[in-house]
């Protein structure tokens, strides 16, 4: 068997927003890694929006993996209100404690080769007083996998997330786009290349839109069939980012390199950059 690329012992799966596909990406990475022979655990740092007995995000990933973990380790903190953990805990008259989350991570890390920690919402969502998701990732010393939508609106959300992560000293391992559909939409087709260039980030996967998949209903769809094709070798798959980007570029009307070349358009497209525009250095 070919040796697997080196991955850290844990990854923090964050996203540009709630509902972007963190759970699906976590489950896909877990399955690709397990298929490549690694012992994988999952941890939902704090689950909100679930009532007692209702399955949460970690249950979806565990069902995909076909393994069980004690609930106290898979999801040490659960709250009923569909809100940021800080707020959902407050609504129940309590606070999220970081200790049990860190202890669950440490316990899982002792028994597994890879622990995937899913955040709640996006990177700056408050977890507890003085703690954001970014603070938790830094405390656990985990590099980030940033999940994002592939469609219109993702450029700003993703670039802001990358900038915020780096400003806090976090390592960004790469980007995973979730819910790719075959399209002729010029925004969607140029988003992956622009994110790689402007975000200076490797594209570690593009997960297809799978109509048979639903995290709410616990339906895995074809996740086991597509997870390895959709994820880069670093995450246990065989996704070829360069080939994907080239295929996107081939479907847009103009050469995509010209999008980012500063002098490729009329000089007035960038006022002040060597075009003699008065008043701008």
Ligand X SMILES: Nc1ncnc2c1ncn2[C@@H]1O[C@H](COP(=O)(O)OP(=O)(O)OP(=O)(O)O)[C@@H](O)[C@H]1O
Q: Which residues bind ligand X (CB under 6 A)?
A: 15, 18-24, 57, 121, 178-179, 207-210, 213-216
Does residue 149 belong to the site contacting Mg ion (CB under 5 A)?
no
List 14's β-bridge partners, or say none. 146
Between CA 46 and CA 245 the distance in angstroms is 35
In the Cβ-directed half-sphere of 123, how many Cα atoms lie within 13 Å? 31
Taking the least distance from each CB to ligand X, the nearer of 121 and 193 is 121
CB of 69 to ligand X, least distance (A): 18
Residue 20 binding: pick among Mg ion, ligand X, none (C-beta 5-8 Å cut-off by kind): ligand X
Q: Exactly one of 13, 31, 44, 239 is catalytic; which is it?
A: 44
**Whether 44 is catalytic:** yes
Number of residues forming the site for Mg ion (CB under 5 A): 3
Taking the least distance from each CB to ligand X, the nearer of 15 and 237 is 15
Taking the least distance from each CB to ligand X, the nearer of 214 and 277 is 214
Q: Which spans in the chain are helix H?
A: 22-35, 57-65, 71-74, 85-91, 98-111, 133-139, 154-167, 186-199, 223-230, 241-249, 257-260
Binding to Mg ion by CB under 5 A, coded x per residue (else -) over 45-84, reads ------------x---------------------------
> Which residue has its beta carbon closest to Mg ion?
23
CB of 118 to Mg ion, least distance (A): 6
Taking the least distance from each CB to Mg ion, the nearer of 69 and 193 is 69
Taking the least distance from each CB to ligand X, the nearer of 23 and 161 is 23
Does residue 158 belong to the site contacting Mg ion (CB under 5 A)?
no
Give the range of 20-28, 132-140, 160-168, 200-208 binding Mg ion by CB under 5 A.
Answer: 20-28
CB of 185 to ligand X, least distance (A): 17
Under 8 Å between Cβ of 101 and 77:
yes
Taking alpha carbons only, the member of 112, 40, 43, 30 closest to residue 72 is: 43
Does residue 17 belong to the site contacting Mg ion (CB under 5 A)?
no
β-strands 10-15, 114-118 pairing: parallel
Under 8 Å between Cβ of 84 and 119:
no
Under 8 Å between Cβ of 114 and 7:
yes
Residue 216: strand, helix, or coil: coil
Taking alpha carbons only, the member of 237, 226, 240 closest to residue 33 is: 237
Which residues are catalytic, by number? Answer: 44
């Amino acid at each position: 068997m070919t040796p697997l690329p080196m991955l850290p012992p844990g990854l923090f799966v964050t996203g540009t927003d709630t509902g972007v596909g963190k759970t699906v990406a976590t489950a896909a990475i877990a399955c690709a890694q397990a298929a490549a022979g690694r012992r994988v655990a999952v941890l939902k740092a704090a689950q909100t929006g679930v009532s007692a007995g209702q399955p949460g995000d970690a249950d979806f990933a565990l069902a995909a993996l076909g393994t069980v973990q004690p609930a106290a380790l898979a999801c040490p903190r659960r709250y009923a209100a569909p809100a940021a953990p800080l707020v959902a805990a407050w609504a129940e008259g309590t606070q999220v404690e970081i200790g049990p989350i860190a202890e669950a991570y440490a316990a899982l890390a002792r028994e597994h080769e890879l622990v995937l920690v899913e955040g709640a919402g996006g990177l700056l969502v408050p977890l507890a007083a003085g703690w954001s998701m970014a603070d938790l990732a830094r405390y656990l010393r985990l590099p980030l996998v940033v999940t994002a939508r592939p469609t219109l609106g993702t450029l700003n959300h993703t670039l802001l997330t990358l900038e915020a992560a780096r400003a806090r000293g976090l390592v960004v391992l790469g980007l995973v786009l979730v819910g790719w559909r075959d399209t002729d939409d010029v925004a969607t087709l140029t988003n992956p290349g622009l994110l790689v260039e402007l975000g200076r980030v490797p594209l570690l996967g593009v997960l297809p839109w799978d109509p048979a998949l639903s995290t709410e209903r616990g339906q895995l769809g074809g996740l086991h069939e597509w997870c390895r094709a959709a994820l880069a070798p670093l995450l246990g798959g065989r996704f070829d980012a360069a080939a994907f980007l080239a295929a996107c570029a081939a479907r847009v009307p103009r050469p995509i390199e010209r999008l980012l070349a500063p002098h490729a358009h009329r000089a007035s497209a960038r006022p002040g950059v060597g075009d003699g525009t008065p008043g701008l250095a």
